[in-house]
Amino acid sequence: MLLFSTSSIAQQDSHFSQGVFNSGYINPGSYGIADDGLFCATAVNRMQTKNIDGSPITTVLNVNGPLNFINSGVGFSIFNDKIGFLKSTGFNLGYSYMFELSEGKLGVGISLGMINSKFDSNDWRLPDGTGDIALPTGDVNTTTFDAGLGVYYTTDKFFAGVSCMHVNRAAITKASEKTTFGRTFYAIAGYRFTFGFTDDYELRPSIYLNTDFGVGKYSLNSHLFYKKKYWAGLSYRLDEAVVINVGLELIKNLTIGYSYDYFTTDIQTYGGGAHEFLVSYRFSISTGKRNNQRKSIRYL
């Protein structure tokens, strides 16, 4: 055993079972490219394996929308991720430029922001004599620059995107052994099939994956929509979980969603599944000139 050595790599970014409904968080190229010309604010809260102390809890908020007069999109994301003794919070501001391509639009985007990472030494215990140089010897609070890139393409029927987050490999600790966020790659693709007498039904199969080439998650998804107001879905995450997803539009432009992950590994027995809640609201921001209106016929 002393003659050979290997490296162990753990996943750093949180995985979301409803990622197909929140592409703005993982791909700045999608900013402003969808949602019928409206701005969209999406909040997601994920609680995983609640029966295990220190289990992951992640909350994100993404707001993005179009600036049609310059063929662009803008947006921002805020996130908070806590797992065990590590807490990460941060934000990103993003911009995308949109091109007309064939029957759809192609967005090319960039995001820039900051990540703050905190290690609380009160939450762990180290055996006497342990000299792991990758672990800080006390509390750590660091803030570092973060960046991401992405492209996203959509038509009336098809959508696909590829992105890379943490392009600059942001450092997250000040221990003697440098620790960084690994570059994480995301890919998403799907197709919309409409059917029914008035096309009230839509079947949307999709794939969603993320990997840092150390750990990867690969999901096959299928969602059935009715009048674009109600949906139910089923997903399979390779060698990890089966996911049930439901959602509805409560009032115009306000939707909610819920998913439950049933893990197909032993962690389901000890820690339970994962609950994920989503709230999304679409709204318009007028960027055009206001029409002058007169109430009196004297000014006609």
**pLDDT tens digits for range 236-269:** 999 999 999 999 999 999 999 999 999 999 999 8
Give the lowest-confidence range in 44-53, 117-126, 171-180, 182-191: 171-180
**pLDDT tens digits for range 199-226:** 899 999 999 999 988 888 899 999 999 9
Q: pLDDT band at residue 72, thresholds of 50, 70 and 90?
A: very high
Q: pLDDT band at residue 33, thresholds of 50, 70 and 90?
A: confident
Most distant CA atoms of the chain, gap in Å: 95
Residue percentage of the chain with pLDDT more than 90: 56
Neighbours of 17 (CB within 10 A): 29
**Gap between the Cα atoms of 81 and 94, Å rounded:** 20
Whether domain 19-124+139-285 has CATH 3.30.2320.80: the reply is no
101: left (phi over 0), alpha (psi -120 to 50) or beta: beta
Nearest CA to 75 among 117, 15, 33? Answer: 33
Domain ranges of the chain: 19-124+139-285
In the DSSP assignment, the letter for residue 4 is: -
Q: pLDDT band at residue 83, thresholds of 50, 70 and 90?
A: confident
Q: Strand, coil or helix: what is 69?
A: helix
The DSSP string of 33-56 is TSGGG-EEEEEEEEEE-TTSTT--
pTM beyond 0.75, yes or no: yes
Residue 179, pLDDT > 80, answer no
Residue type, 16: F
pLDDT value of position 8: 46
